[in-house]
Chain A
Amino acid sequence: MSATAVHSLWTTAADPISKIDAPKIEYGQLSPTLIVIGAAIVGVLIEALVPRKSRYYAQVFVSVVALAAAFAAVVALAAGGYGTTKAHIAAMGAIAVDGPSLFLQGTILLAGILGVFTFAERRLDPEVHGNRVDSFAAQAASVPGSDSEKAAVKAGFTTTEVFPLLLFAIGGMLVFPSANDLLTLFVALEVFSLPLYLLCAVARRKRLMSQEAAVKYFLLGAFASAITLFGIALLYGYAGSVSYATIAQVVDGTITNVDPALAGTMGNDALLLIGAAMVVMGLLFKVGAVPFHMWTPDVYQGAPTPVTGFMAAATKVAAFGALLRLLYVVLPGLRWDWRPVMWAVAIVTMLGGAIVAITQTDIKRLLAYSSIAHAGFILAGVIATSPDGVSSVLFYLGAYSFVTIGAFAVVTLVRDAGGEATHLSKWAGLGRRSPLVAAVFAVFLLAFAGIPLTSGFAGKFAVFKAAAEGGAGALVVVGVISSAIAAFFYIRVIVLMFFSEPRPEGPTVAVPSPLTMTAIAVGVAVTLVLGVAPQYFLDLAGQAGVFVR
């Protein structure tokens, strides 16, 4: 080798690496997520630095302020036109800032605020050793029934870590529906899933059940994540990219140049179809669609009820958001392949949820199956593949999340010596003893059933209308039939509450603090407002219904 050649090699090697540009990050547009994640980190620091006595107050304060600020940021972005005209893809193609993102982020943040309220409730359980307690274990790490648990209870410990965990989960959920590449999607999935697994495990009562639920959720969740990840790998093999836009273009055939490194796989439709099916399956697991729903009842029942309420509402919002984006942005070219499959999934989900719910005897399991049926209804809107379909799903998710949080908040109020009295037989005659609570719960049940003048009707109507116009008339028929089946068990609970004799050893209804009261009141108010005058919000969802590509 000549000296010059060697020299040139050296100089090439020494060529300044500074040519790699720093990524351009639009901090303003990402501010909702950044605020929440930042607050979660502050929450961790609080756990480390603030004295035990003050942690609860500090955590609640930080959480509420951060979520409110993030919501304000979402509103500001929407007002600034980022939902419509200025919608674009930020953070080097990783995050989409558009109408559906902002709408869903706003919904998740509001659900999060109500979630914090129910998490922070400390008046329902009687005081233990002079300390007020919430729904969470004194010390999650202590073995149930052990001496260390007793010591922790006696010392008045509380698991204030739930607040930063909640914030982390919300942070992940904010990213999930706006992720614009498959890796961001997967990271967001894990960021919101892991805190939820933990949260499920920290119930104060029935700890073993709670831990069992968490383990099941974790195992099955990990399984689903693995399948998702495998699917992502296959899609990368197909398109040579994880970016939504690029994959879509390869599917459409607008990009044809093959990355030499992937010459063996690129453009192979089998990879595309299998990969897409696996990624979609991971999302269907999160929304609780049949046959990936089996974790739902066990986890909903075992998790602390405030966690269940939050999880049922916000996870569904985030996961449906991601599913919408995936199907509408990445895979519209595959519409004729995925639609029939999703049809089938929607049908078995609607019918399965509704039918199995009939024989449930536990109110939390009942609501779990109800959430499965609702996932089916929302899928019907997803299948519409039209702008109306998107906006109807957005509206449905907003309406549904408030009803869900409110309903689970009511469940926390009905208690007996063993904590929450979730067995349905104990709810008999509740309407005689606590007419107000029973009436509020009846409103939520009617909304679940989709009775007019509640948000449930407006949402269901919008979704079914979009589905029918999108050529899925048969799906609507099945939807209406399963609504009828579902109405049976909702109404049965109302009948039980109002027309049955109260049992002598029946539960008492605890008087909650203003926190839970606010959550329930907001739930009722939103349910009725969206039911009586849905048009403004339908319009809002309609404006927000366009994905940026």
Chain B
Amino acid sequence: MENLIALLIAAPLLGAVVLLCGGRRLDAVGHWIGTALAATSFVIGIVLFADMLGKNAEHRAISQYLFSWIPVGSFQADVSFQLDQLSMTFVLLITGVGSLIHLYSVGYMEHDERRRRFFGYLNLFLAAMLLLVLADNYLLLYVGWEGVGLASYLLIGFWQHKPSAATAAKKAFLVNRVGDMGLSIAIMVMFTTFGTFAFGPVFDSVGKTGEGKLTAIGLLLLLAACGKSAQVPLQSWLGDAMEGPTPVSALIHAATMVTAGVYLIVRSGAIFNAAPDAQLVVTVVGAVTLLFGAIVGCAKDDIKKALAGSTMSQIGYMVLAAGLGPIGYVFAIMHLVTHGFFKAGLFLGAGSVMHGMNDEVDMRKYGGLRTYMPVTFVTFGLGYLAIIGFPGLSGFFSKDKIIEAAFAKGGTEGWILGGAALLGAAITAFYMTRVMIMTFFGEKRWQPDTEGHEPHPHESPRSMTIPMIVLAFGSVFAGGLFSIGDSFVHWLEPVTGHSEGNSPVSALTVTLATMVLLVVGAGIAYAQYGRRPVPVVAPRGSLLTRAARRDLLQDDFNHVVLVRGGEHLTRSLVYVDHTLVDGVVNGTAASMGGLSGRLRKLQNGYARSYAVSMFGGAAILIAATLLMRAV
């Protein structure tokens, strides 16, 4: 069984190589090759899962050693994999949702000339993401980490003919570099501290290490997580990343890659457990981001950007939960999985709407689409109910648990974090209801596009609707399935550990409070957008709305602080370089040239002066030798 682990990665990797190197000959069949290999990986995942279920909890983790990668003295890096319950969860999510989205893309990218390449990139992403979650050491994880970053960059900029897409890809890449730097430094610190970066040995030696070092490692890992998972302060790239094709937004920028930060924190739980300060920062980042994303989501008229804000906010929930320690790890992952279903479903729904609306993304130009796209409407609607936490659906179970866990943190912190999480739930209900109403209800507000084509909304082809339906099932049932008898808690507990915590408020109170806030949020949205016609041109809005439309001024902040500061720094460095460094360098060069010209005159062509030089040289040589002895 262990030997199958490598195959999980090998299948999509093979697909990437074949599709990217195969050339035009594969244009006709490339998308099916890619889909088949993604599905192959999923089937292998299922086989491994079945095998794992058949074992006792403590024997479920298996590993596979492939080869020694970099053996240099005490620096030993192996390519070896570890498949435990946590990795398994991710494998199923990645390959399952991944396969569905491959299938969806077959229809969605039908008219794109570069569809083969698109599938090659998707396969590359799957391989890298699987490597990330299967690696048994941080260095190999880092390879996967950079691999998904690369795939993300390539896919955001897939429509590179659009300058906005190219810029967005570059922005995502650059912002992620900041986070990646955190991870690489964390790995270096680990190596100097523990002498290794394999998960097992590192976690075993945590107890023997000072808290300061662990806090440093934890904060560096958090920086990495912030980059990849679009958490404040490295959140700015996610909204722009929506420039990529919608299946990419669904798979990479909603369901899987952006959750890698959560994986990293949960996987490194042993380190965070021993570094409470780092944990506190994690929870703060999570809480801030969940509100930040939710507020941004409220103001966006672009359906994908509204969903991107939502993604940011939901990952904020997960990070918050992961920062709570053993109380929250399981629920972070549980919310990650359910979110994977409903957010992927919502994005695919959004893609389906755009597909029918001439690629229009402005919700103010939608309206009343429910009758034109019934399947999309129903699946999107189920995803909507799931994300706002409608009782009985996936989001209800997972989000509720996180809010409870936040209160269970105890003390003032518990109240603040729990309050933020509750408030977030209300805002979630508001912005999602807004999206729902603006898109599917109300008046038709369609307008011809720039070339004068009137949109003719229609239901999408089967290859797109089937994945949406499957994901809708996940959105509805996954949460319940995980919560019956705490099955998910028991499943993950051997890896992450679990404790109930000590909540000052009862679970029922939390649930009721959530319900009330949910109704309030949705009600406000209905009052604002359902009962009044939605203006096609966005009104000016309040100061907060305007700020939220500009992503709460994140780019302005970055521009003023980082870009301007960077420019000033570069300018002054360039000045120093030109005057001081170049001055010295050019001066040296000039004096060398002058010296050379003068020395050259010694070479006058007369054998007699050459002989004199030799004679003088010999005399000096002899004198110097004698002198050495004398000294």
- A interface list, Cβ under 8 A from B: 215-216, 219-220, 223-224, 227, 269-270, 273-274, 276-278, 280-281, 285, 290-292, 294-295, 297-298, 336-338, 340-341, 344-345, 352, 355-360, 485, 488
Q: Quick one: closest A residue to B608, CB to CB? A: A219
Q: Is the CB of A223 within 8 A of B626?
A: no
Compute how far the CA of A99 lies from the CA of B621 in the bound complex, rounded to whole angstroms: 30
Known A291-B616, A485-B592; 9 more pairs at CB < 8 Å: A270-B626, A273-B626, A278-B622, A281-B618, A292-B618, A294-B602, A294-B613, A337-B625, A337-B628
Q: Which residues on B sit within 8 Å (CB–CB) of A344?
A: 624
Alpha-carbon gap, A292 to B603, bound state (A): 12
Show 28 residue pairs from A and B whose CB-CB distance is below 8 angstroms, ordered by the A residue. Answer: A216-B610, A220-B611, A220-B614, A223-B614, A224-B614, A273-B629, A274-B622, A274-B625, A278-B622, A281-B617, A281-B621, A285-B614, A291-B613, A292-B617, A292-B618, A297-B603, A298-B605, A336-B628, A337-B625, A338-B625, A338-B628, A340-B624, A341-B621, A341-B628, A355-B599, A356-B596, A356-B603, A360-B600
Please report the C-alpha to C-alpha distance between residue A106 and residue B553 in the assembled complex, in whole angstroms. 73
Q: Which partner residue on chain A sits nearest B588 by CB separation?
A: A485
The reply to whether the CB of B455 lies closer than 8 angstroms to some CB of chain A is no
**Which residues of chain B are near A290, meaning CB under 8 Å?**
617
- B593 A219 Cβ-Cβ under 8 A: no
Q: How many A-B residue pairs have CB under 8 A?
A: 90
Bound state CA distance, A216 and B611, in angstroms? 10
B581-622 with Cβ < 8 A to chain A = 589, 592-593, 595-597, 599-600, 602-603, 605, 607, 609-611, 613-618, 620-622
Instruction: Tell me the smallest distance from the CB of B592 to a CB of chain A, in Å.
Output: 6
Contact A223-B611, Cβ < 8 Å, known A355-B596, A359-B593, A359-B597:
yes
Cα–Cα, bound, A484→B621 (Å): 28
In the bound complex, what is the Cα–Cα distance between A291 and B597 (angstroms)? 17
B120 to chain A, nearest CB (A): 31
Interface range, B side: 20 to 34
**Residues on B with beta carbons closer than 8 Å to the beta carbon of A345:** 621
Q: How far is the CB of B238 from chain A (nearest CB, A)?
A: 41
Chain B residues lying within 8 Å of A298, measured Cβ to Cβ, are 603, 605
Q: Tell me whether A269 and B618 are in contact (CB under 8 A).
A: no
Pairwise interchain contact B607-A220, C-beta atoms closer than 8 A: yes
Partner of B614, one of A276, A292, A341, A485: A292
Question: What separation, in Å, do the CA atoms of A341 and B625 have in the docked complex?
Answer: 6
Contacting residues, chain B, for A277 (C-beta < 8 A): 618, 621-622, 625
A413 to chain B, nearest CB (A): 27
Q: Please name all residues of chain A whose beta carbon is closer than 8 Å to the beta carbon of B613 when the two chains form the complex.
A: 291-292, 294
In the bound complex, CA of A294 to CA of B613 (Å):
8
Name the B residues within 8 Å of A358 (CB-CB).
Answer: 592-593, 596
Please indicate the chain B residues that have their CB under 8 angstroms from the CB of A352 in the complex.
Answer: 599
User: Per DSSP, are chain B's interface residues mostly helix, strand or loop, or mixed?
Assistant: helix
A280 CB, nearest partner CB in chain B, Å: 7
- Bound: A358/B592 CA distance, A: 8
Chain A nearest CB: distance from B627 CB in Å? 9
Task: Tell me if A276 and B628 are in contact (CB < 8 A).
Answer: no
Of the residues A273, A276, A294, A355, contact of B603 by C-beta under 8 Å:
A294
Write out the residue numbers on chain A whose beta carbons fall within 8 Å of the beta carbon of B602: 294
Once bound together, how far apart are the Cα atoms of A483 and B595, in whole Å? 17
A-B residue pairs, 5 tightest by C-beta: A291-B617, A294-B610, A358-B596, A359-B596, A277-B622
Q: What distance in Å separates the Cβ of B460 from its nearest Cβ neighbour in chain A?
A: 54
Measured in the bound complex, the distance between the Cα atoms of B592 and A294 in whole Å is 20
Task: Flag if A274 contacts B596 (CB, 8 Å).
Answer: no
Residues of B within 8 A of A488 (CB): 589
- Which A residues lie within 8 Å of B603 (CB)? 294, 297-298, 356
Please tell me if the beta carbons of B600 and A356 are within 8 angstroms of each other in the complex.
yes
CA distance in complex: A338, B626 (Å): 10
For residue B610, which residues in chain A have a CB less than 8 angstroms away from its CB? 216, 220, 294-295
List the B side residues contacting A273 at CB < 8 Å.
Answer: 622, 625-626, 629
**Chain A residue at smallest Cβ distance from B614:** A292
Across-interface contacts of A297 in B (CB, < 8 A): 603
Pairwise interchain contact B596-A215, C-beta atoms closer than 8 A: no
CB interface residues, B 168-193, toward A, < 8 Å: none
Residues of A within 8 A of B621 (CB): 277, 280-281, 341, 345
Complex Cα spacing A337 to B630, Å: 10
Selected from B592, B607, B622, the residue in CB contact (under 8 A) with A215 is B607
The interface residues of chain B lying within 8 Å CB-to-CB of A338 are 625, 628
Complex alpha-carbon distance, A352 and B613, angstroms? 14
Residue ID in chain A nearest B626 by CB atoms: A273
What chain B residues lie within 8 Å of A340 (beta carbons)? 624, 628
Q: How far is the CB of A231 from chain B (nearest CB, A)?
A: 9
Bound together, the chains give a CA A485 to CA B585 distance in angstroms of 11
Q: A274-B625, A337-B625 known; A216 and B607 CB under 8 Å?
A: yes
Nearest CB of chain B from residue A78's CB, rounded to whole Å: 32
Nearest chain-B residue to A291 (Cβ)?
A: B617
In the assembled complex, how far is the CB of residue A377 from the closest CB belonging to chain B, in whole angstroms? 18
Separation of A270 and B597 alpha carbons in the complex (Å): 39
Within the assembled complex, what's the spacing in Å between the Cα atoms of A356 and B611? 19
Chain B residues with Cβ below 8 Å from A280 are: 621
Q: Would you give the 0/1 interface string for B242-279, flagging 1 where the beta carbon is closer than 8 Å to chain A?
A: 00000000000000000000000000000000000000
The closest CB in chain A to the CB of B607 belongs to A216
A356 x B599 contact (CB < 8 A): yes
Minimum C-beta distance from B378 to chain A (A): 62
Minimal beta-carbon separation of B582 from chain A (angstroms): 15
Taken together as a complex, chains A and B put the C-alpha atoms of A220 and B605 apart, in Å, by 12
Residues of A within 8 A of B629 (CB): 269, 273, 337
Instruction: Please measure, in the bound complex, the distance between the C-alpha atom of A187 and the C-alpha atom of B602, giving whole angstroms.
Output: 32
In Å, the complex CA distance between A355 and B448 comes to: 73
With a cutoff of 8 Å between Cβ atoms, the chain A residues found around residue B628 in the complex are 336-338, 340-341
Closest residue of chain B to A224 (Cβ to Cβ) is: B614
CA distance A307 to B593 in the complex (A): 30
> Which residues of chain B are within 8 angstroms of A224 by Cβ–Cβ distance?
614
Query: Chain B: which residue is nearest A344 at the CB level?
Result: B624
In Å, the complex CA distance between A406 and B606 comes to: 30
Question: In the complex, A295→B599 CA distance in Å?
Answer: 15
Which residue of the partner chain B has the closest CB to A216?
B607
Contact with A219, one of B592, B611, B625 (Cβ below 8 angstroms): B611
A75 to chain B, nearest CB (A): 34
- B530 CB, min distance to chain A CBs, angstroms: 68
Alpha-carbon distance between A284 and B381 when the two chains are bound, in angstroms: 90
| Interfacial residues of chain B within 392-433, with CB under 8 A of chain A in the complex | none
Q: How long is the Cα–Cα vector from A215 to B610 in the complex, in angstroms? A: 13
Q: How far is the CA of A358 from the CA of B590 in the complex (A)?
A: 11
- Give bound CA distance, A465 to B607, whole Å: 38
The CA-CA distance from A338 to B621 in the complex, in Å, is 9
